[in-house]
Amino acid sequence: MSEESSHGPVMAGVVTAVVGFSSSFVVVLAGLTAVGASPSQAASGLLVLLVTQALGMLWLSVRHRTPLILAWSTPGAALLASTAGVAGGWSAAVGAFIVTGVLIVLTALVPRLGDLVAAIPQSLARAMLAGVLLPLCLAPVTALVDAPLVIAPVIVTWLVLLRLAPRWAVPAALAVALGTVLATAHVDTGALAPSLTWTTPHWTVSALVGVALPLYVVTMASQNVPGVAVTRSFGYQVPWRESLAVTGIGTIVGAPAGGHAINLAAISAALAAGPAAGPDRSRRWIAAVSASITYLVLAVASSALAAMVAAAEDGLMQAAAGLALLGTLGASLAEALADPVEREAAAATLVVAASGVTVLGIGAAFWALVVGLVCRAVLHRPAAAQSP
């Protein structure tokens, strides 16, 4: 066995974890903070997400000898970041996270629930996600105008690496942003040590409808379902129900410490399940084990990174997060607006989600789906009626 084939899966797993973490941890911190988390609670949430997804991934990959990659719900974090607070505060948001986990477990136990999620048109689900992402992706533009000397190096780094080494464009931009923080800001050294912060959950109707349901839908539609498709595209079978059970239980366990949701990975799954993990498909599951261990190592540094983000100048890390989400926004828009028949309903969904409105204490993401489904029902014409 050559040295390259021996170490290929291990290095692929390390790259998977480093890229997955660095490309979106800022989005996670922004999302948790937006729904009421203090800096210490947001750091705790980041830490517990890393631990629960690592342990879940370790269980699944070793048990099935399959490169099953888990991740936190980046679209879910973006959804939280677009939320203008939660009625009941942080404890109500934690209660919503627990309900999200319960719904994921129920999906594993009751196939009909999964069928209901699958029945939501992909054009509307993608349009909702695009609407949630749009305000976040505007951050680099507004931040560049407000602080060009601080933001320009981040954007230039991202653009250059996007041309030369796309996989590392976002991590490099985040590295430049964090370097700027170290050079210009005062970081609270008392917040550097990793620690978990318990929050007693509280349940409110508006948080359940406005946070838990959209978080469940976006996690299932934008992460779990594509994650299965990506893994299967490399010839691996995914234990669907067990994977949902593991991620749902992990979400429930991690919620009181601040974790919002974990799920099957989509984009980063390709790094561990594809050729980058070595020519021997039977050994690529080792990449998932390597990624798990790397995530646990990153968990030790998560509080320090969270403290740096908290100390950053306004707009700096938001700009980095916007760059990280730009590719997802483009893909979501392309899928949402691809079908001319669905386009008006998808556009209505997008603008409502992007509006950020709160009605009856319920956020825009929920109302975006409602508006999209109503528009689709009103505008939908049978195939026979569409023919000339």
* 140-172 tens-digit pLDDT: 999 899 888 888 999 999 999 989 988 788 888
C-alpha span between 236 and 86 (Å, rounded): 40
The contacts of residue 5 (CB under 8 Å, 6+ apart) are 278, 279, 280, 283
C-alpha span between 323 and 30 (Å, rounded): 14
The whole-number pLDDT of residue 381 equals 62
Asked if 315 and 151 count as a contact pair (C-beta separation under 8 A), the reply is yes
**Per-residue pLDDT tens over the stretch 80-97:** 988 877 888 999 999 999
C-alpha span between 241 and 264 (Å, rounded): 12
Asked if 303 and 28 count as a contact pair (C-beta separation under 8 A), the reply is no
Asked if 218 and 76 count as a contact pair (C-beta separation under 8 A), the reply is yes
Look-up: residue for tokens 């008006």? 344
Asked if 46 and 100 count as a contact pair (C-beta separation under 8 A), the reply is no
CB-hemisphere CA count at 13 Å for 283?
A: 16
192-202 average pLDDT score: 86
The contacts of residue 99 (CB under 8 Å, 6+ apart) are 203, 208, 212, 216
Question: What does the buried/exposed string (b/e) look like for 14-50 if buried means 16 or more CB atoms within 10 Å of the residue's CB?
Answer: bbbbbbbbbbbbbbbbbbbbbbbbebbbbbbbbbbbb
Longest alpha-carbon distance in the chain: 70
Instruction: Using alpha carbons, select from 385, 388, 374 the residue that is nearest to residue 344.
Output: 374
Q: What proportion of the chain, given as a percentage, has pLDDT over 70?
A: 93
CA angle 55, 59, 63 (to 5 degrees): 165
Which tokens in the block code for residue 77?
């974090």
The whole-number pLDDT of residue 216 equals 93
Asked if 261 and 100 count as a contact pair (C-beta separation under 8 A), the reply is yes
Q: Backbone phi, then psi, for 66, in 5-degree steps?
A: -135, 140
Can you list the alpha helix ranges (DSSP code H) found in 65-121?
A: 74-81, 89-109, 111-119
- Enter the pTM of the model: 0.81
Residue 365: band (very low, low, confident or very high) from pLDDT cuts 50, 70, 90: confident
The whole-number pLDDT of residue 242 equals 94
Look-up: residue for tokens 């026979």? 384
**Per-residue pLDDT tens over the stretch 284-301:** 899 999 999 999 999 998
C-alpha separations of 155 from 250, 310, 315, 321 in Å: 35, 20, 13, 11
The whole-number pLDDT of residue 33 equals 93
**Per-residue pLDDT tens over the stretch 102-113:** 999 999 998 787
**Per-residue pLDDT tens over the stretch 331-340:** 889 988 998 8
Which tokens in the block code for residue 267?
């984009």
**Per-residue pLDDT tens over the stretch 178-189:** 888 887 767 666
Which tokens in the block code for residue 58?
């370790």
